[in-house]
Structure 1
Amino acid sequence: MFLLRRAAVLPVLRSNCCRTFCSSPSLQMERKGLVLGVFEKKGEESSQRFTKAAEVFDHKVSGKLSELLKISGPSLKKGKSRVFYGVHKDFPCVAVVGLDDPAAGVCGAENWDLVKENIREAVSAGCQVLRDLELTHVEVDGCGDPQAAAEGALLGLFYYDCLKSKKKAKVTVLPHDSVEAAAWEKGVQYAEGQNLARLLMEAPANHITPSAFAKTIEERLTQYGDRVLVQKRSQAWIEEQGMGAFLSVSKGSEEPPVFLELHYKGSPDSADAPLLLVGKGITFDSGGISLKPSASMDMMRADMGGAATVCAAVVTAAALNLPLNIIGLAPLCENMPSGKATKPGDVVTAKNGKTIQVDNTDAEGRLILADALCYAHTFKPRAVVNVATLTGAMDVALGSAATGVFTNSDWLWEQLHKASVVTGDRVWRMPLFQHYTRQVTDCQLADLNNIGKYSRSGGACTAAAFLREFVTAPHWAHLDIAGVMSNKDEIPYLKKGMSGRPTRTLVEFAAALAYNK
């Protein structure tokens, strides 16, 4: 149960799709569903070919499945599904899902692996249709890529009903037949990481306060013992650090700020330079004195999406036991209007001594990140990646197709891009020209202005230029995730709601650093 009082602490949030690997007698008595894949073979009269697992299953039922597929209509298109009943005594419902050419590979125009992305979409469709039939136990064909299949299944079955009195039944998802266990488990961990970020982002702001957010992450990391250190820094500590930019944002709220610091010690050499991940953690953004319009303001409960994805990535790295040191930083607070709130035109001082003229209190994310980035450099990191739902301008520029990446490092861009091709959660490089820097450094009262000189022009770029003023590391990237914060129907396996993007890309990036030093 979620508590409503000010210092509310969430219980460990749980996804509605269970992945328990068991074969108890009670489970065997349940009505079970099965998802199997079929490849479309373009230009051939016999237009479809089963996956290996589907072929074995069809042999067990004496060709009944292939016969039903033939008489059920035109060939099954990719991403679509068809359900057959009474094919096998153990599986009263079998969903056959359409897969594309298994040799398609990476598409340069789309910047993702077509095979992996199609498997996620198809398996998700099959699992969802079986859940709608009220089956609670589903086995899934690996479709040639067990990791992608597991991701599609668990991401597709996620929904948020934590606060509803009537909840949907959980769905137990298992690999079917001789699926490679390690690849399947990796996909499960990737999907559960993203689902954790979705749970945090979807929860109402009166339930995910800064302290509740920190407590939830702490509970998720407890099981990893000495490998993980969680430090929940108080307002007094923030003041001692001279984080005046961060404190200026939190001033208007009754909720005290929290600076969440996570240390994952995965490298066998404790002296290895860490990967530094920093996430914007505004648990509710009203805009402050520069108040936002009321329409869709409820969506600003997810303005901590950067912190959610960063913390979820650290949790996933620990679950995967990656041989890499990672530090996650999340400045957490609310941005609210009150008599104590920062006023437009006020000047504040960041941790590195730079003064900032705050002309728009709704450009608050860059203020809290400025201090967090200054602090990040004290760890002498291998690379710094910050993630934030920073600007509406990024949504205008790229929409939900990709995360915008601003970076001072070609090497870091290449690593992030490679990771995104694998996960299908794409990134796109944006400019960091001095043209934008001049717009934030040309300031009447202070060293910097928190909005660009031409506020409606290049807003995502001037925000990135502002952050760059607090970076000295040679490998730094800023990921603006405002456009990918939520999903309508763009990504079929995510459905409507908060997306948790780009958690899997962050994890894949970290894994590549860990294993390809």
Structure 2
Amino acid sequence: MAASMKVIGRKIHKPVLSTICQHSRFSTHNILNKGAVLGVYQAKEKDGDLILDKSTQFFDDKSSKKISGLLKVVSRDLKKGGCRVLYDVVPGYESVALCCIGEKGASFNEAEGFDEGSENIRAAVASGVKTLRSIGETEVDVDPCGNAEAAAEGGYLSLFEYDELKDKTKRKKAVKLSCLVDHITASSSAKKSWTRGRIKAEGQNWARHLMEMPSNKLTPALFVEAVQQKFANRSNVTIHVRDKSWIQSEKMEAFLAVSQGSSEAPYFLHIEYKHPDNKMSSPVAVVGKGVTFDTGGISIKPAASMDQMRADMGGAACTVGTLYSVDRLDLPVHVHAFIPLCENMPGGRAIKPGDVVTARNGKTIQIDNTDAEGRLILADALNYAETVNPQVILDMATLTGAIDVALGSGAAGVYATSTDTWNILQKAGANTGDRVWRMPLFNHYTKQVTDCKLADVNNIGKHSRSGGSCTAAAFLKEFVTNKNWMHLDIAGVMSNKDEVPYLNSGMAGRPTRTIVEFIEMLSKAE
């Protein structure tokens, strides 16, 4: 029946001709507001029939072959990541979204650098879940499609919306997701995998939530409160909140220099997660840049898109999002998180180009561009992180526009001093689909920041427009003695337009899931 035909007894909100098929046997009674997402594979031959996955075949048998019968009518142009909605085909479900999960047997794609099968599932499930929400379903059961963790990630990530400040009538309705596993032989394993995916997605979604919050709703002090509330009564988590006087006692002049132009007080947040069955010989230290708003200071940014700088604390957001997932997954690991929190404002007390400050490790820094502030607060935080004697230090920061020019949103740029540790991180990104790409830490770049007229180092390279992300990493390296250090420049993956199909437009929370995966893999590698 044509997609444009009127459906009696039920209002379809914003119908999309290419994705919705009404079935002539649609029932006008017993409206459940419950739908299901089921998977199908691409046909092996160009004009062949789509292949039903295990769950879809089960429900097709249960519905007297209604699904396979209708697929022959509506699936001619159904491509990977797309879906079709059928009504009144499976008892107990008002609607069923049939989603194409690509070729059967898809696995690691060397050229793409990720597990293509898992990525296909995330995208397909996301398409189905979002489509069912758009037609009013409030409960959705999801086919695990052979990988329940990826299915959960795609579903929960696709539902994220930051609309809490809008009128209640304009907010998206909540959708309850569940995993369709009762008919699967290994249902307990699938349920466990689904829970892992849900928790990883929740960690990333919390990071996205924090990054989207307006800076007047998330000052340094309010960021601290949000973290304290989220981890309240979590037995394996300890939070230390350090104020300005403590920061001064630690001689973190570089951090204080950035904060001094703002009326908002700076904070240094130290969070420790230690599982009673910790398997690590020494902890992992994660450092996150926490500039809750960045005007650029005296070296002020252009007005256009400056509102996006509410997310300049993306490194801090991904850090706490990572700890959220690590804690809820109950991983047997030991992690310290260090987050310097402040604003970078052009106030009367703000730092000026040409000023010189002394970092915690005793090195002097000539500040020639106040908009290169993230590396200043990280310099002191990285140096302090070494006090817990970590096996690896990993920092995340929306540090440079240069990494966006180099990599765009395809991957986070990584500067690593250890190839072995880098290999683990790269594999973690391949598993999650949230990729990373190694960048150079050559002495070539170090010379550009240490060739400084007034101090030991300059906060921008002497060729400031060339290799900007590389010189920023070289600057940070001057404040780290740990031989196992990785710096992630995440400015290019800060937001999403339409590049990642299971993330809506807005702040991305990347690469939270990859860091969770990395920490777990690192603990197993010892």
Shorter chain as denominator, the TM-score bin is over 0.9
Within the candidate set 459, 467, 475, 2:468 is matched to 459
- Give the stretch that moved more between structures: 82-91 or 233-242: 82-91
Separation in 2, partners of 1:36, 1:237: 55
- Give the stretch that moved more between structures: 262-271 or 289-298: 262-271
Contact 2:32 2:93 in 1 (8 A): no
Any idea what SS the aligned residue of 1:276 has? strand
User: What letter matches 1:436 in structure 2?
Assistant: Y
Within the candidate set 151, 154, 175, 2:179 is matched to 175
Give 1:211 shift: 1.0
Separation in 1, partners of 2:276, 2:370: 40
* 1:97-496 superposed matches below 5 A: 97-166=99-168, 167-178=171-182, 179=187, 180-225=190-235, 227-266=236-275, 268=277, 272-496=281-505
| Aligned counterpart, 1:20 | none
| Aligned counterpart, 1:92 | 94
Give 1:284 shift: 0.1
Q: Deviations over 1:390-414 (max 9, x none)?
A: 0000000000000000011101110
Give 1:177 shift: 3.1
Any idea what SS the aligned residue of 2:471 has? helix
User: What letter matches 1:171 in structure 2?
Assistant: V
User: What letter matches 1:509 in structure 2?
Assistant: F
Q: Deviations over 1:23-75 (max 9, x none)?
A: xxxxx984201000001132265431111111111111000011011111405
User: What letter matches 1:487 in structure 2?
Assistant: N
Give 1:88 shift: 2.5
TM-score norm. by structure 1 comes to 0.93
Distance 1:315 1:308, change over 3 A: same
Contact 1:402 1:425 in 2 (8 A): yes
Calculate the aligned-residue CA RMSD, in Å.
Answer: 1.3
Separation in 2, partners of 1:279, 1:267: 25
Distance 1:270 1:135, change over 3 A: closer
Q: Deviations over 1:115-154 (max 9, x none)?
A: 0000000000000000000111111000000000000000
Give 1:269 shift: 5.1
Separation in 1, partners of 2:325, 2:229: 14
Give aligned pairs, total.
489
Separation in 2, partners of 1:492, 1:270: 36
Separation in 2, partners of 1:87, 1:147: 27
| Aligned counterpart, 1:17 | none
Give 1:165 shift: 1.4
| Aligned counterpart, 2:9 | none
Q: Percent identity?
A: 53
| Aligned counterpart, 2:508 | 499
Any idea what SS the aligned residue of 2:403 has? helix
Distance 1:38 1:223, change over 3 A: farther
Give 1:513 shift: 1.6
User: What letter matches 1:344 in structure 2?
Assistant: P
Give 1:241 shift: 0.4
Separation in 1, partners of 2:344, 2:194: 41
Give 1:101 shift: 1.9
Give 1:350 shift: 0.3
Any idea what SS the aligned residue of 2:193 has? helix
Distance 1:271 1:85, change over 3 A: closer
Separation in 2, partners of 1:37, 1:324: 36
Any idea what SS the aligned residue of 2:140 has? strand
| Aligned counterpart, 2:13 | none
Any idea what SS the aligned residue of 1:87 has? coil
| Aligned counterpart, 2:76 | 74
Higher Rg: 2
Contact 1:47 1:75 in 2 (8 A): no
| Structure 1 segments of 4+ aligned residues over 6 angstroms from their partners | none
Q: Deviations over 1:343-367 (max 9, x none)?
A: 1100001000000000000000000
| Aligned counterpart, 2:10 | none
Consecutive unaligned residues of structure 2, counting only runs of 5 or more, are 1-29
Any idea what SS the aligned residue of 1:464 has? helix
TM-score norm. by structure 2 comes to 0.91
